[in-house]
Structure 1
Amino acid sequence: MRVLGIETSCDETGVALFDSQRGLLADALYSQVAMHADFGGVVPELASRDHTRRLLPLIDEVLGEAGLGRRDLDGIAYTAGPGLVGALMVGAATAHGMARALGIPVLGVHHMEGHLLAPMLEDEAPDFPFVALLVSGGHTQLVEVLGLGRYRLLGESVDDAAGEAFDKAAKMLGLDYPGGPHIARLAERGDPKRLRFPRPMTDRPGLDFSFSGLKTHTLTAIRQLEATGALDDQARADVARAFEEAVVDTLVIKCRRALDASGQTRLVVAGGVSANRRLRERLEHECAKRGARAYYPRGRFCTDNGAMIAYAGAQRLLAGERDAASMLAVPRWPLDHLTPPAA
């Protein structure tokens, strides 16, 4: 089955073509990061307009790369949520319009299910069951995954997601959006012994996350350095290092607890923050100590992309799922509300 995947949930327009027999045939991505950087974050109306401009040319590009035409498609999957409602509607309307014209099934896919299944695109894909850490700008969740659509939420952020905290800390340090990569680069020059920031919600049982207090602590540290005239380039790097290590330690501690509590030996890490080098190194070390293994998507599939939507959509389309006549655009959609495909 050849499935076209469309991702327009936020600030990246992603398109991919997945063949259930041959695997990923082609993918393309247009990032709006440069456009939103001037505003320090995503402007929803601008994001929607840019998806409208980019989506059809990207679809043609992907089909051309695969040497196929629209009539060669067997189904279309699109991100139905969660995300920015205007951006979601661009992808949903395009997918439904194409599917109706071609007479093929169409299906709205959960954005986080796409991230969760992204490592399945790799040569060494994990088997079910596993624990998943979904960590991005909008979500930080620990999920026990027993199979497709069989998800048990173990813990989640009660305020800022980890990626959102990176963005806000970067802004405090005068760094560009998105903050994660800039914080990581600056942290490479930081002294790990100069500052130590708190590891929030690790001094009590449980698997939930909270990063708002860490954000406040970071702002206080920066203001204290400014007040004493000590906020030079090295101090900014030291703050970045302390912040990154606090986030990484918190994520690692919670992953360790989740593996122990569930008894699973496989850990999937997906979402934009999963590309962080220090996080991967720490998780690899923790998994090795437990006889467990960590799985990640390749770098370009850590952030939002069409390939993960094409793959997730293909699994459900093959099981007979499809949208009714109306399209879906669901800004808030809990992952654990999903169900397995009907037998």
Structure 2
Amino acid sequence: MKQEVHRIQEETLAELQQVSTLEALQELKVKVLGKKGSLTAQLRKMGGLSPEERPIFGQVVNETRDILEAAWIRREEELSQTAMLKQLEEEKLDISLPGVSLPRGHQHPLTKVIEEIEEIFLGMGFQIAEGPEIESDYYNFEALNLPKDHPAREMQDSFYITEEILLRTQTSPVQIRTMEKQRPQLPVKIICPGKVYRNDDDATHSPMFHQVEGLMVDRGIRMSDLKGILLSFSRMMFGESREIRLRPSFFPFTEPSAEVDVSCMLCGGAGCRICKGTGWIEILGSGMVHPRVLEMGGYDSKELTGFAFGMGVERIAMLKYGIEDMRLLFDNDLRFLQQF
């Protein structure tokens, strides 16, 4: 029986050298070491041996199994290496060559402008606040002093989901939500960046666009504080030589209200086609928070005052980079985006 085991060992080692594929190697392993393999079959013959002979024969079989398994591992490594080299040769691939560098992406111009705006106001002590894009009628209109019959509530101007739920038309609802959450803590000093939705679509309007609104509420806040903040912002965004002017306007949630113009970046105020000969370019709306809005936010309008402002990020980006059509910002045309 020992001779039979040694014969299996010698024949198997010889066959291993003849095997040329990993599949054939596995088949040979099953043939010899499998449950029905030739070496395994020798163990079944131990029943006919005396108690003294069984451990000796078992040791012979186990030593043979160890020898064959080690030989299998060596042969498997050889065949794997041969297969890999053959594949590399067929693919004409030189693994010693340096890898191909993939082109790196970069930020979208709107993302760059939003982050620049955030950085400017964070540097002035503001915090960033966010809120839901699907908003209730109460937060989007009522709490901002827009009654039920206000024109902005008409179905053609806003995207309504139900009579009381719509896609927010401004980020102003975040101001009310923040005041409710933060009261009575002072000051309230936040900016609210995010997407808003209106039924507009042309070269200077998009049904989805980005806004950054700001709010500050505290004791003794004045219009001069608002002007100083916006002048600092304009100079950091468009250049240190910029000046601003405030023109009387109307917004339901501020009183008094003002449109804010910045001196033209191209002509410096002399007049050109960009500023339409006026020397000024409108950039945002602003004003002192309406007493009703303060009350809806849970603050005493007799003791506290505040200012608010809001700007369209797309407009800031178009002015900053000289873009004439807003739709270019959403077309995902690499020829346009690679300029930034």
> How does the TM-score come out when normalised to structure 1?
0.22
- Higher relative contact order structure (alpha carbons within 8 Å, sequence separation ≥ 6): 1
Q: Which has the larger radius of gyration?
A: 2
